[in-house]
Amino acid sequence: MSRKRVRYIWIPLIIVLIAIPAGFFYVDWSKGGSGAGLYSRKWVPEAVFAYWNPDDFYRSVDSVMGEFEGEQCISCHEAVTPGIVKDWRASRHSRPGDGKDTVYCSACHGNNHQELHLPTPEVCGGCHSTQHAQFVDEKRFGFPSHALAMERALDAEHFVDKPKAEVTACLNCHSVASKCDSCHTRHRFNAAEARRPEACITCHSGPPHPDDETYFASAHGQLYLAEGERWDWSKPLRKGNYKAPTCAYCHMDQGRHQVADKSMWKFGIKQINPLTSGNEVKRKQWVALCSDCHEEDWSRQQLAGLDAERRQAWSKLYAAEGILKQLRADGLLYPAAGERPPYPNDWLDSIRPRARIGFFEGQASAFYNVSPIERDYFEMWYFDNLGAYKGAAHGDAGFVLRGHEAMDQALVAIEAAAAKLRRLGEMEKKAQARRPDPAALWLSGEYTEFNRERN
């Protein structure tokens, strides 16, 4: 083998050996700032982040000093926060039975008042090891999942550039990964509360994920609304215990603390092959679950109907993506990627500006700071599409119909906007031999400067 050929082998190998540890070092360094996540050096958290992400940000108050036993905590907080103590007295922590010790405040918060902590899943897992292990194991299913929700938020590019008030609202729900009281109310921690759909719709509501509207409009939801107050919610999530399923019954089979284990369609925002070997296993799990109340053939037909709805939806979304990608190729998006503020943490975008179109190019991280036609597509994909998907998944035919009607209207509007951009582009070329650059209009301004200075 010639020396030249040997050199061609060693040079790439040396580069790889240097790049891998450098990459790990950079990620570790980027997480060492005053914020959290991949971009911790580029933003500073608001005080309320301590409650949404307590592991990273909670600091105990210093108004009280000393170490206290559980009974002392109760005697003091009966005067300071009586509602909390009342909830605790109604919980199994205050009277566990079976000869178990009472679980006082200090067991979850610590007994040194200057070093108190909020109970994170790891703290709860000290006693509830089975539930915690199931919750952590959910990470193997990837996004979306409860266990990865906080990481998903903190590691998103737009987290740095959006106003902190907006991303604080995001963490309100994404904190399901960092504290158990997203589902179990604080200090009472009653499993019966978490079995009711209201525990889930605190977050699973609104245009991006209308689970509440679609569930309550379904036959299951209607039955719950009519009779749910008379059900015995202390019963486990098992066949025969409930007349109609709730969110937890379907998504936490047998009370298992994993909501992503049967997810085939990845929240409806990503096209997948529903007939992979893994999804065939999940399909059998869904049929088995639905067969608690329905015939197996009927259950399979419902899943087939969901598959058909998804194929129809993605044919419309890809048609819109094709229009936008052709506009990008012809330089007709307005303003174009280089004419609007880049994400401040995206150095590659500042060197090679490029509009990200469609899920696989990063549409999930490009829902603002885009041209109007791109925003139209985002709303078609993230709102109309998700409405149709949730309707199909939860048995609300009306929501499916309205979602697809909205997608049809959005596609027509996108086609019309694209035609207008093409006409204007041709007129500009004829009049000026080039398209005007509006960069000065978009690259600065009150909103942009405010975020840049204060995030």
Provide the pLDDT for residue 41. Answer: 87
Is 312 within the bounds of a domain?
yes
**CB proximity list for 260: less than 8 A, separation 6 or greater:** 138, 141, 142, 144, 145, 146, 147
Provide the pLDDT for residue 401. Answer: 97
Rg of the chain, C-alpha, whole Å: 26
What CATH number is attached to the domain comprising 355? 1.20.850.10
Each residue of 232-246: pLDDT tens digit? 999 999 999 999 999
Is 33 within the bounds of a domain?
no
Is 259 within the bounds of a domain?
no
According to DSSP, the residues that pair with 112 across neighbouring strands are 67
For range 364-379, the mean pLDDT? 83
Question: How far is the C-alpha of 15 from the C-alpha of 174, rounded, in Å?
Answer: 38
Least confident segment among 45-54, 69-78, 340-349: 340-349
Say which residue, 86 or 36, is predicted with more confidence: 86
**Is pLDDT of 45 > 90?**
no
Least confident segment among 100-109, 257-266, 315-324: 257-266
Is 16 within the bounds of a domain?
no
Task: Show the tokens assigned to 322.
Answer: 């094709």
Mean of pLDDT over the chain: 88
Residues 92, 95, 98, 102, Cα dihedral to 10°: 100
Each residue of 142-168: pLDDT tens digit? 888 999 999 988 888 777 777 777 788
The answer to whether 151 touches 163, Cβ cutoff 8 Å, is no
Provide the pLDDT for residue 363. Answer: 66
Phi/psi for 112 (5° steps) reads: -90, 110
**Is pLDDT of 455 > 70?**
no
Is 208 within the bounds of a domain?
no
Full domain range(s) for residue 304: 298-454
Is 329 within the bounds of a domain?
yes
**Is pLDDT of 42 > 80?**
yes
For range 11-26, the mean pLDDT? 83
* CA distances, 25 to each of 20, 29, 31, 242 (Å): 9, 6, 10, 52
Q: How many structural domains are present in the chain?
A: 1
Least confident segment among 153-162, 275-284, 388-397, 421-430: 153-162
Question: How far is the C-alpha of 105 from the C-alpha of 345, rounded, in Å?
Answer: 41
Is 225 within the bounds of a domain?
no
- pLDDT tier, 365 (very low <50, low <70, confident <90, very high otherwise): low
Is 410 within the bounds of a domain?
yes
- Candidates 291, 281, 241, 236; CA nearest to 261 is 281
**Is pLDDT of 376 > 90?**
yes
Task: Show the tokens assigned to 288.
Answer: 């088995």
**Is pLDDT of 275 > 90?**
no
Question: How far is the C-alpha of 145 from the C-alpha of 192, rounded, in Å?
Answer: 22
Provide the pLDDT for residue 429. Answer: 82
Each residue of 199-220: pLDDT tens digit? 999 899 988 889 999 999 999 9
**Is pLDDT of 433 > 80?**
no
